[in-house]
């Protein structure tokens, strides 16, 4: 195989991955999309091991060909990233950097797998190393400052919920593992078939390999389909109204006054709210004022909402808003803390900005519980490593809202609606500020979490909200920055996986589409068109039961990450201290001396 063939195989994998991706992709392609790249890496590994063996035997004149596994894998992943997330360009030219960096991290992970396999493990078991490295990488990529879980392999099934009902056990990382295993099994079958054609193995071996590959693909699929058609949604009924106001984030957000924006939202809601409506869900940054949290009751938009709810006393409204909170001097070193330049009063100097959601009731005397967005968008709401590299804070991308590193809630937030006039919050920044309320009728009590935009891509975070008590999930987002591209459709489809993982109904409110309802099996109802104002209503089921994934989270990732770091450490030790490693191996393998027998 010539080098040009290796480059073409790498390119083929990138194109196949993109062709399988939501929302217009042909999903079955994912089961062999990585086979060309795996085949190129397998060929290079065999050639390198032949060279290493010849060198160890002291043979001279052996030609050493340099191969570029990192380059092959980078080509595959760069093509995949570019063809599936090109729409980021609509919000910022930094899309080129984001696509390139994500492909770089993927290629680094794949190259680590290759170098580890060059020195350790037999050919038959070496793919286990790839599974460990890749799942560990995806889990790590969900939990650092430059998180980008958008292209987690398991997300490819977001438009095929009937295929992955077992995500309620494994989460989306289980889908990634399934894809990797199937691709490795198909490559193994191809190897056996090639060996059979060359007379090096039996037809039985080819048959066994083909049956293994078919079983790995179809058995999880069949189990999921059975679960899909036998699962029955559970929980008490709750009527929810979702509003899609359709504000253009590039013009209306700046041209409309906060009063006009709130009026448009309330006029849409008025057409669907009934006496049975319990919650009205609105998008991210629906209330246009930037307000201090201790002054929230005096906000014009909030007063308009309270006046609207007085004639609908059974409903509460969930609204996105940009808010600010003051920070005492003792906490001035916390992440996201900003300071005023024109005051010397230490108690007024420090503050934090937030992307928030509040719950408004008809009673103006009731406190408004608040949730601060916890999973922030890199480059917009959080500047990576800003605590150590202060200058990067000035590079924040302005998408019309509050930019720079925002203040976050340290953990999951759960709103507890004891009755239509009273809502409180547990968790987040307010765990230590719980208010005393009169005992409520537990039949009326509803616990829910509102997931703000980017948070909905993080399965483990959403599961932590459910584990903390959320019976319903709301998603408030604004995807209008990307225009009518695959971006907003991909984002909407990923919410279906959160419904399956946690067995929770979801009400999704997007500023410019797609707004919809999603049941506990991932099925979508009343999806609204893009770029049209809309208001929809449906009765959802508030479920208290915990799925295995909601109870335990990303167990696969938590196990794979330390294992991958261990394998990487072994590889580095061998790479920099090869002779010491060989001596240690010889010492371990050497037979222990037989003790002398004494008469």
Sequence ranges of the domains in the chain:
3-231+555-576, 236-544
Question: In a 10 Å sphere around its CB, with 0-12 CB exposed, 13-18 middle and 19+ buried, how is residue 573 labelled?
Answer: middle
CA distance to 251, 288, 295, per residue, from 263 (Å): 17, 11, 21
Please answer whether residues 15 and 79 qualify as being in contact, where contact means their C-beta atoms are separated by less than 8 angstroms.
Answer: yes
How far is it, in rounded angstroms, from Cα 528 to Cα 513?
Answer: 6
Phi, psi angles (nearest 5°) of residue 323: -130, 165
Helix (H) or strand (E) holding 56: helix 35-56
Burial annotation 228-244 (CB, 10 A radius, 16+ → b, else e): beeeeeebeebbbbbbb
pTM across the whole model: 0.91
In this predicted structure, what is the pLDDT of residue 400?
43
How far is it, in rounded angstroms, from Cα 481 to Cα 484?
Answer: 9
Contacts of 217 (CB under 8 A, 6+ apart): 31, 182
How far is it, in rounded angstroms, from Cα 34 to Cα 110?
Answer: 12
Helices (H), 122-257: 127-141, 167-170, 172-197, 203-230, 252-255
Please answer whether residues 17 and 80 qualify as being in contact, where contact means their C-beta atoms are separated by less than 8 angstroms.
Answer: yes
In this predicted structure, what is the pLDDT of residue 234?
92
Q: Say whether 33 sits in a helix, a strand or coil.
A: coil
How far is it, in rounded angstroms, from Cα 54 to Cα 369?
Answer: 70
Contacts of 169 (CB under 8 A, 6+ apart): 547, 548, 549
In this predicted structure, what is the pLDDT of residue 560?
96
Between CA 252 and CA 262, with CA 256 as vertex, the angle to 5 degrees is: 105
The strand pair at 506-510 and 472-477 is best described as: parallel
What tokens were used for 100? Answer: 């390139």
The strand pair at 472-477 and 446-452 is best described as: parallel
Tens of pLDDT, residues 279-303: 999 999 888 888 898 888 889 999 9
In this predicted structure, what is the pLDDT of residue 432?
39
Place of tokens 């934090």: 352
How far is it, in rounded angstroms, from Cα 582 to Cα 11?
Answer: 38
In this predicted structure, what is the pLDDT of residue 393?
47
In this predicted structure, what is the pLDDT of residue 439?
47
Q: Say whether 570 sits in a helix, a strand or coil.
A: helix
Tens of pLDDT, residues 383-413: 775 555 554 444 444 444 445 688 888 889 9
Total count of residues recorded for the chain:
599
The strand pair at 413-419 and 446-452 is best described as: antiparallel
How far is it, in rounded angstroms, from Cα 47 to Cα 382?
Answer: 45
In this predicted structure, what is the pLDDT of residue 124?
65
**Which of 433, 478, 426 lies closest to 452 in space, CA to CA?**
478
Please answer whether residues 397 and 405 qualify as being in contact, where contact means their C-beta atoms are separated by less than 8 angstroms.
Answer: no
The strand pair at 236-244 and 277-281 is best described as: parallel
pLDDT lower than 70: segments of the chain:
60-62, 91-94, 122-124, 252-254, 332-333, 385-404, 428-443, 579-599
What homologous superfamily does CATH list for 236-544? Carbon-nitrogen hydrolase (3.60.110.10)
How far is it, in rounded angstroms, from Cα 325 to Cα 521?
Answer: 39
């Amino acid at each position: 195989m010539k080098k040009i063939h290796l480059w073409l195989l790498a390119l083929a994998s990138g194109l196949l991955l993109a062709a399988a991706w939501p929302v217009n992709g042909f999903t079955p392609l994912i089961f062999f999309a990585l086979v060309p790249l795996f085949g190129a890496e397998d060929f290079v590994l065999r050639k390198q091991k032949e060279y290493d063996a010849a060198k160890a035997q002291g043979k001279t004149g052996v030609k050493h060909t340099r191969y570029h596994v990192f380059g092959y894998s980078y080509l595959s992943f760069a093509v995949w990233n570019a063809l599936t997330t090109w729409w980021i360009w609509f919000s910022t030219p930094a899309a080129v950097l984001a696509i390139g960096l994500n492909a770089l991290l993927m290629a680094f992970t794949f190259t680590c797998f290759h170098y580890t396999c060059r020195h350790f493990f037999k050919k038959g078991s070496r793919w286990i190393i790839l599974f460990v490295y890749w799942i560990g990488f995806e889990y790590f990529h969900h939990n650092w400052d430059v998180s980008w879980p958008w292209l987690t392999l398991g997300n490819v099934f977001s438009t095929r919920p009937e295929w992955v009902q077992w995500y309620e056990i494994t989460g989306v990382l289980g889908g990634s593992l399934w894809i990797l295993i199937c691709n490795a099994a198909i490559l193994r079958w191809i190897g056996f078939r090639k060996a059979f054609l060359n007379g090096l193995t039996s037809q039985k071996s080819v048959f066994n390999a083909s049956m293994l590959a078919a079983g790995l693909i179809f058995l999880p699929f069949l189990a999921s389909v059975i679960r899909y058609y036998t699962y029955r949604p559970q929980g008490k009924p709750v009527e929810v109204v979702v509003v899609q106001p359709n504000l253009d984030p590039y013009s209306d957000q700046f041209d409309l006054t906060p009063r006009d924006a709130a009026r448009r939202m309330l006029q849409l809601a008025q057409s669907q709210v009934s006496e049975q409506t319990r919650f009205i869900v609105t998008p991210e940054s629906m209330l246009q004022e930037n307000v201090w949290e201790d002054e929230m009751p005096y906000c014009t938009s909030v007063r308009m909402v309270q006046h609207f709810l007085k004639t609908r006393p059974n409903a509460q409204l969930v609204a996105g808003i940009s808010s600010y909170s003051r920070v005492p001097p003792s906490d001035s070193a916390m992440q996201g803390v900003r300071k005023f330049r024109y005051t010397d009063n230490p108690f007024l100097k420090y503050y934090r900005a937030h992307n928030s959601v509040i719950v408004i009731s008809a009673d103006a005397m009731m406190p408004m519980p608040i949730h601060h967005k916890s999973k922030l968008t890199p480059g917009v709401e959080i500047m990576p490593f800003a605590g150590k590299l202060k200058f990067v804070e000035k590079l924040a991308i302005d998408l019309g809202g509050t930019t720079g590193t925002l203040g976050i809630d340290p953990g999951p937030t759960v709103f507890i609606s004891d009755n239509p006039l009273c809502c409180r919050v547990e968790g987040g920044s307010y765990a230590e500020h719980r208010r005393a309320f009169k005992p409520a009728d537990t039949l009326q009590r509803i616990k829910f979490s509102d997931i703000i935009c980017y948070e909905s891509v993080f399965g483990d975070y959403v599961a932590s909200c459910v584990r903390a008590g959320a019976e319903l999930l709301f998603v408030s987002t604004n995807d209008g920055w990307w225009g009518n591209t695959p971006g907003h459709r991909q984002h909407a489809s990923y919410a279906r996986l959160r419904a399956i993982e946690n067995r929770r109904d979801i009400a999704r409110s997007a500023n410019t589409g797609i707004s919809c309802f999603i049941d506990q099996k991932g099925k979508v109802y009343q999806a609204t068109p893009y770029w049209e104002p809309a208001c929809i209503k449906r009765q959802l089921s508030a479920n208290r039961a915990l799925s295995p994934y909601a109870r335990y989270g990303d167990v696969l990732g938590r196990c794979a990450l330390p294992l991958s770091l261990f394998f990487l450490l072994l590889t580095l030790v061998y790479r920099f201290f090869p002779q010491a490693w060989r001596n240690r191996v010889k010492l371990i393998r050497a037979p222990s001396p037989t003790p002398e027998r004494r008469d």
